[in-house]
Homo-oligomer: A and B are copies of this chain.
């Protein structure tokens, strides 16, 4: 019987980069590139150097795509947003090791709140603009069908 040496790999981190690629529709190059930019650090590695991705990494991929495609953020901007997001993690840490450096934490949380509010504001204006654009197009659609009617049936 063989020994299952999974040296130093966090629990649940078992997806190889190729599998992640298939699941997400990205390429392996893209995943490595994102890592290079500090956007996505696979939560595990093997002694051989092979990357191992956990479900939480997959979720992060989703958020990156959202920010990039939906909001048109550059990867640098995405990085900023995601960095403030990690305050949550720090939060959980705090509940386990209560009150260590509260002053620093307050600043972190305040920053996170501000960043989040800015993002929310941007999301709202974006939503309004797209909505307006959508309405324009809906009107245009009706106008087109109107025109089409006046042309009779081919």
Docked CA distance A119–B143 (Å): 15
Range, interface on chain A: 35 or more
Bound together, the chains give a CA A133 to CA B70 distance in angstroms of 9
A23-54 vs B, CB cutoff 8 Å, 1 = contact: the mask equals 00000000000000000000000000000000
Which B residue's beta carbon lies closest to that of A69?
B72
Query: Shortest CB–CB separation between residue A136 and chain B, in angstroms?
Result: 9
Contact (A123, B133) CB under 8 Å given A110-B148, A147-B91, A151-B102 = yes
Residue-wise, chain A 137-151 has the 8 Å CB interface mask toward B (1 for contact) of 110110111011001
A60 beta carbon closer than 8 Å to chain B: no
Given A131-B127, A137-B120: A148 touches B69 (CB 8 Å cut-off): no
User: Chain copies in the assembly?
Assistant: 2
The answer on a CB contact under 8 Å between B147 and A119 is no
| Given A126-B130, A129-B70, also A138-B113 (CB < 8 A) | no
Most chain B CB atoms below 10 A, which of A91, A126, A127, A144: A144
Residues of chain A from 97 to 154 with CB closer than 8 A to chain B in the complex: 102-103, 105-106, 109-110, 112-113, 116-117, 119-120, 123-124, 126-127, 129-131, 133-134, 137-138, 140-141, 143-145, 147-148, 151, 154
Q: Can you list 20 contacts pairing A with B, beta carbon distance less than 8 Å?
A: A66-B129, A69-B72, A70-B72, A87-B144, A88-B143, A102-B151, A103-B154, A105-B151, A106-B148, A109-B144, A109-B148, A110-B148, A113-B144, A113-B145, A113-B148, A116-B144, A120-B137, A120-B138, A123-B137, A127-B130
